Amino acid sequence: MFTGIVTDIGTVTELDQQGDLRARIKTAYETTGIDIGASIASDGVCLTVIALGDDWYDVQISAETVSKTNLDTWQVGKRVNLERALKVGDELGGHIVSGHVDGVAKVVSVIDEGDSTRVTLRAPADLARFIASKGSVALNGTSLTVNDVEGCDFGINFIPHTKEVTTWGDVAVGDLVNLEIDTLARYVARLAETS
């Protein structure tokens, strides 16, 4: 489990497609404190550490994960949002995030508003019903509050701090973004279907 509070920006330094995709991610995390088998959310995708170095870790990514996320757009040099898994006693500053991406949203508009940036994204139609104004979503692993919703489009505001400590300062129209809907929204919708 994660909170959607990004704690490092990593860089993809190697990609190797041999059966599954293997990626090496450079990190500022103290890797001596990471175990083989640990989960690290990388752009919101819960990935398992399979190898470690002084300032990097490797993950193996199945074809299923690649097909459901934006990881097929990863290239060497790409910056990615990172978060270590929750530990008992950690502050829950965002919302409960599983790292199981539901689909990919597309950035359709980026507009500066004062010091903040308003980003409008288009969700896949089958996921849009789970997104509500003032509700939570995780986008590329970042816990965010939805400002408004119109059909499949929804808006998010990014304050300067968020743009500095995540990859959201680099956002551009056309970007594909990993979307994880709020777990609570999923269960509420399921209950409504069975009532």
- The burial class, CB within 10 Å (0-12 / 13-18 / 19+), for 173 is exposed
Q: Are residues 23 and 65 in the same domain?
A: yes
Banded pLDDT at 195 (limits 50, 70, 90):
low
Tally the domains of the chain.
2
Residue 160: inside a domain: yes
Summarize pLDDT for 76-123 with one digit per residue, the tens: 999 999 999 987 777 777 788 889 999 999 999 999 999 999 999 999
Q: Are residues 116 and 183 in the same domain?
A: yes
Residue 14: inside a domain: yes
Residue 1: inside a domain: no
- First-to-last C-alpha distance (Å) of the chain: 29
* Domain extent for 46: 8-84
The CATH number of whichever domain residue 164 belongs to comes to: 2.40.30.20
Summarize pLDDT for 16-26 with one digit per residue, the tens: 998 899 999 99
What pTM value is reported for the model?
A: 0.93
- The CA–CA distances, whole Å, from 132 to 84, 128, 129, 152, 179 equal 27, 9, 8, 11, 14
d(CA 154, CA 32) in angstroms, rounded, equals 40
Residue 92: inside a domain: no
From 25-29, 42-46, 128-132, 175-179, the region with the lowest mean pLDDT: 128-132
Q: Are residues 144 and 72 in the same domain?
A: no
